[in-house]
Amino acid sequence: MLLGVIADDFTGATDIASFLVENGLSTVQLNGVPPSDTPVDAQAVVISLKSRSCPVETAVAQSLQALAWLQRQGCQQFYFKYCSTFDSTANGNIGPVTDALLDALGEQLTVISPALPVNGRTVYQGYLFVLDQLLSESGMRNHPVTPMTDSNLLRLMEAQARGRCGLISAAEVDRGAAAVKEKLQQLAQQGVRYVVLDTLNEQHLLTQGEALKQQKLVTGGSGLAIGIARQWAQPGQHHAQSAGAPQGEKAVVLSGSCSTMTNKQVACYRQQAPALAIDVARCLTAEARSDYAAELSEWVAQQSGAALAPLLFATAQPEQLQKIQQQYGTEAASLAVEALFAELVKRLQQCGFSRFIVAGGETSGVVTQALGISGFHIGPCISPGVPWVRAIEQPISLALKSGNFGDENFFARAQTEFPV
């Protein structure tokens, strides 16, 4: 095993796993830290945690458990994967987890590279952009759990971590891998602990991968995985994605994300397929939630003969979301909807549903855990960073979409371009 990845949510895990496979590494995704004796035959393993927005102490503990398991497998390099929009609060969890991993590995320095240019995430002079907008001016400023109101990665990292942050500019990356390695050494000598890497295009990612081959710990989004994987892969090495190709006839679309793109995707799909909005008020108590889940599963089953799968969504525009949070409380509303989705997918599985298209990192984690899935084979990509995946131990296929990924017609394309 060459590379061990610790991902802070389930969509991020499938995201990076797809890029590793596409760039030459055989890869298995495991959901949660597996038992010590779990056999894995792969060059890379991605361990998906649900640690992005949990308490800091929990995120750190889970990440260290994942690291210990990967170390026992003999991994040569470790990768802490977070979202390309650096989703976190002033307290973490990216900074504290990075510090804990550095300490556990006895390392003094790592890099910060959330960029994914193919999806419009770039870094310039240490500022993170979403397409042509600063992160703080994008839809991420309204995120219900991790609102991003600053775009400067150096400030964001220093606010939640223990050390100083430095920068390697785009001009320096343009000079090549040797120049990047030299600058990393200079910054280390100056006592810098975290180094933000400017990234404007895929060539920058390839340069970074070459420069970081000997770096014990790297951190970033899935884009850096392109460069890292190509350093580890053998020339001409490719891995078929047929093992993860979607299967099953009965499908459902579940959307919990409130991102700008998911709102557009829901609006588009509602014109094409049966769709029903989740009523948060009916999710707040266990008894009411159980009755509501039964009602919704029956509705989904009744719509399953349509050309496109039915959609259930808790997706809301920022103004509507704010009203819901004010009325029910931000955390209470979020937990209630997650609990509903967990109960709902269990009922749908019992009804013979085996293809789940899910939008939102938190929702994807809930669905995967509720279905009792321990790991995935990685299948073909629907959009960059969003592959179909197939459960290792049961005939269930999922498309787990990060909130801002995919085009407006993503939900329909996931079905029409990948028929059973």
Assess whether 247 and 358 both reside in one domain.
Answer: yes
* DSSP assignment of 376-420: EEEEEEEETTEEEEEESSSS-EEEEE-TT-S-TTHHHHHHHSS--
Pairing of β 164-168 and β 192-197: parallel
C-alpha separations of 195 from 22, 110, 166, 171 in Å: 27, 6, 5, 15
- pTM (two decimals): 0.88
- Cβ atoms 102, 115 nearer than 8 A: no
The kind and range of the H/E element at 103 are: helix 94-105
Is the domain of 208 the same as that of 248? no
DSSP secondary structure code for residue 283 in this structure: G
Which residue in the block uniquely carries the two structure tokens 């920022």?
318
Residue 211 shares a structural domain with residue 251? no
Residues 285, 374, single domain; the answer is: yes
* Per-residue pLDDT, 238: 62
Indicate the number of domains in the chain: 2
Written as one letter, the residue type at 268 is: C
77/215 Cα distance (integer angstroms): 7
- Residue 312: closest CA among 283, 284, 332: 283
- Would 378 be classed as within a structural domain? yes
Do 173 and 254 belong to one domain? no
Q: What sign does the dihedral 84-89-92-95 (CA atoms) show?
A: positive
- At 180, list the tokens: 């990047």
Asked if residue 246 and residue 227 are part of one domain, the reply reads: no
Residue 350, pLDDT score = 95
Please determine, for residue 52, whether its predicted confidence score (pLDDT) is greater than 70.
yes
Q: What is the DSSP letter of 158?
A: H
Percentage, residues of the chain above pLDDT 70: 98
Picking from 194, 213, 232, the residue at the C-terminal end of a domain is 232
Looking at the structure, do residues 189 and 261 belong to the same domain, yes or no? no
Q: Are residues 26 and 123 in the same domain?
A: yes
Among residues 232, 251, 275, which one ends one of the domains? 232
Using pLDDT thresholds of 50, 70 and 90, give the confidence band for residue 418.
confident
pLDDT at 305: 87
For range 73-78, the mean pLDDT: 95
Tell me which residue of 40, 105, 55, 59 sits closest to 79, measured CA to CA.
Answer: 105
Q: Of 232, 252, 273, which closes a domain?
A: 232
Q: What is the pLDDT of residues 295-315, one digit of tens each?
A: 999 999 999 889 999 999 999
Confidence band of 236 (pLDDT split at 50, 70, 90): low
Is 317 domain-assigned? yes
- Is the pLDDT score of 239 beyond 70? no
Q: Which residues contact 132 (CB under 8 A, 6 or more apart)?
A: none
> What residues make up the domain containing 39?
3-232
Structure tokens at 56: 């800091």
Same structural domain for residues 351 and 213? Answer: no
Average of per-residue pLDDT values in the chain = 94
Q: Is residue 321 part of a domain?
A: yes
Same domain, 219 and 351: no
Q: Measure the CA–CA gap between 136 and 102, rounded to whole angstroms.
A: 28
181 and 289 in a single domain? The answer is no
pLDDT, one tens digit per residue, over 103-122 is: 999 999 999 999 999 999 99
Residue 237, in any domain of the structure: no
